């Protein structure tokens, strides 16, 4: 829970506070809605977020803990027009990131 809370803090510090919407989605998953952002821009934000989490020093027992995250990106209307479908496609991209080495960003692709 401490790691999730600190990840949320890093997310809030990384995204646009006046427009983007970060939220917890499920047990250990977080989601960020990036209005007015196309796929390449979302990939850039996601990679910046990945790097910020990687560099963050989470409080540990004796020394700081370092964690990494994998991310999946899907965008409206390129990858779909339905919210749940976009989440499913971002999740598919997320699993691609995990299966291909973790600590990376994948933009959804039907191929």
Question: Cα separation of 21 and 59, whole Å?
Answer: 26
Q: Which are the catalytic amino acids?
A: 28
For helices 2-14 and 39-55, the axis angle rounded to 10 degrees is: 130
């Amino acid at each position: 829970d401490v790691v999730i809370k600190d990840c949320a803090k890093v997310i809030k510090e990384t995204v646009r506070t006046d427009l983007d919407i970060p939220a917890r989605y499920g047990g250990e998953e977080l989601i960020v809605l990036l209005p007015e952002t196309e796929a390449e821009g979302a990939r850039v934000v996601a990679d910046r977020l990945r790097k910020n989490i990687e560099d963050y020093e989470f409080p540990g027992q004796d020394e700081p803990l370092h964690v990494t995250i994998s991310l999946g990106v899907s965008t409206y209307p390129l990858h779909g027009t339905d919210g749940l479908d976009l989440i499913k496609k971002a999740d598919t991209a997320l699993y691609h990131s995990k299966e291909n080495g973790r600590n990376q960003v994948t933009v959804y692709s039907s191929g």
